[in-house]
Amino acid sequence: MTDSVHKEFVDSFKTELKVASPGRINLIGEHTDYNKGFVLPTAIDKHIIFQFQKNNTPDTCNVYSATFDKMMSFNLNEVAPSDKEWENYILGVVSQIQLRDKQIAGFDCIIESYLPMGSGISSSAALECGLAFGLNQIFNLGLEKIDLVKIGQKAEHTYVGTQCGIMDQFASVMSEKGHVILLDCDSIAHQMIPADFGDYQVLLLNTNVSHNLADSAYNTRVAECASVVKAIAKNNPEVTSLREATFEMLAAVKSEITPIAFKRATYVLEENARVEKAVKALKEKDLTTFGELMYGSHNGLQNDYEVSCEELDFLAAFSKNYDQVLGARMMGGGFGGCTINLIHKDGVAEFVADATKAYKEKFNIDLTSFTAVPSQGTAIIN
């Protein structure tokens, strides 16, 4: 950073506020959020760090990514989508704040990311929510936490172009240390559940691949699910999402929808049921059942929802050779990123070593791994 042409910007920066915005894991409940179903995410102990200062101009903003040594400057009166993807996360958030008639003025920001990008731990939500959180603070905008969540999600819809659900932003902002969140993505009611894994830990294995299908395939899945809702709603007008659909309703429209849409919707209904069972198992400290449900989730994502990839499938299958691993599955949007594994702490070293070797042999790619601790959401730090 010191050799950068932006050294002067960094050196003269007088930090008024420092914010840490975390990545997230999701124990179970994948691709259910935009179907108004259930998810079980939490923030983790890895963050994007933001420094903010007001720069005493009415409308000039400078945002520097120290991680990528990239600077963007823009005028608050001319906020519009950019052709650079990372800038759209920033501009999208600013635009959403403006749309809520909240007044901000010129600011400077330095961003350092400790979240591996494309690894499915939602560095994008951390970026959106950390920025919204910081601007809310320094300009006293009076936004509630849930507003920050919605600003992040809307920024993604409008400027980034992914029709994402609410899970990532909700987890990034709302999480509490030592808990997972059972979030009902319909009512947005949530319950904090102690992440009581006993001698077990959450281990992420990063495939270090990110197949570029991810964005378009994501929006296709959203549309496929919507097509099923539309078919069901013809005879059941009260149904506005797959959350409200039943297996009977789905069976009744089987001939009217494509076989692919039928598979997608079957997965969503099954996954919602799995989340409810998983929460019951977690509360009863029945981690064996919890792990089996994780494998069930992966199976559905691989075969019915078809958002996995061979690298993720390999790691999920490989984990089955280890008694110490109770469950594993792909996590997040899919097509790359991490598997999430529930593993006995004594088994981590051996499993990581073996998986790394086998993965390298199979794909000639270096696997990376890290344990993830359920942690607090976006917060001010010193």
Would you please indicate which residues are annotated as catalytic (active-site) residues?
Answer: 168
DSSP letters, 38-71, are EE-EEEEEEEEEEEEEE-S-SSEEEEEETTTTEE
Name the token pair of 236.
């059941």
Binding of residue 271 to ligand GLA (CB under 6 A): no
Using the minimum distance from each CB to ligand GLA, give the nearer residue, 65 or 122: 122
User: Which letter does DSSP use for residue 380 in this model?
Assistant: E
d(CA 151, CA 321): 43
309: β partners = none
Using the minimum distance from each CB to ligand GLA, give the nearer residue, 34 or 50: 34
Using the minimum distance from each CB to ligand GLA, give the nearer residue, 164 or 352: 164
Count of residues near ligand GLA by CB under 6 A: 11
Binding of residue 22 to ligand GLA (CB under 6 A): no
Q: Least distance in Å: CB of 222 to ligand GLA?
A: 9
343: β partners = 201, 325
Element at 337 (helix H, strand E): strand 336-344
Name the token pair of 310.
């061979």
Q: Least distance in Å: CB of 37 to ligand GLA?
A: 10
Site track for ligand GLA across 325-364, x = CB under 6 A: -------xx-------------------------------
Please choose, from the candidates 379, 319, 326, the residue with its C-alpha nearest in 3D space to the C-alpha of residue 351: 319
Binding of residue 224 to ligand GLA (CB under 6 A): no
List of residues 6+ apart from 243 with CB closer than 8 A: 35, 36, 37, 185, 186, 272
**Window 164-193: residues binding ligand GLA (CB under 6 A):** 164-165, 167-168
In the sheet that holds 190-194, the strands lie side by side as 38-39, 179-184, 190-194
Only segment of 13-21, 31-39, 56-64, 373-381 that touches ligand GLA (CB under 6 A): 31-39
Please choose, from the candidates 162, 144, 140, 145, the residue with its C-alpha nearest in 3D space to the C-alpha of residue 153: 162
**Window 33-52: residues binding ligand GLA (CB under 6 A):** 33-34
E-assigned strands of 83-237?
107-113, 179-184, 190-194, 200-210
**Window 88-127: residues binding ligand GLA (CB under 6 A):** 122
Q: Least distance in Å: CB of 258 to ligand GLA?
A: 21
Using the minimum distance from each CB to ligand GLA, give the nearer residue, 30 or 108: 30
Site track for ligand GLA across 121-160, x = CB under 6 A: -x--------------------------------------
d(CA 101, CA 290): 45
Q: Which of 17, 20, 28, 30 binds ligand GLA (CB under 6 A)?
A: 30
Q: Least distance in Å: CB of 153 to ligand GLA?
A: 8
Please choose, from the candidates 188, 64, 73, 47, the residue with its C-alpha nearest in 3D space to the C-alpha of residue 130: 47
Residues that bind ligand GLA (CB under 6 A): 30-31, 33-34, 122, 164-165, 167-168, 332-333
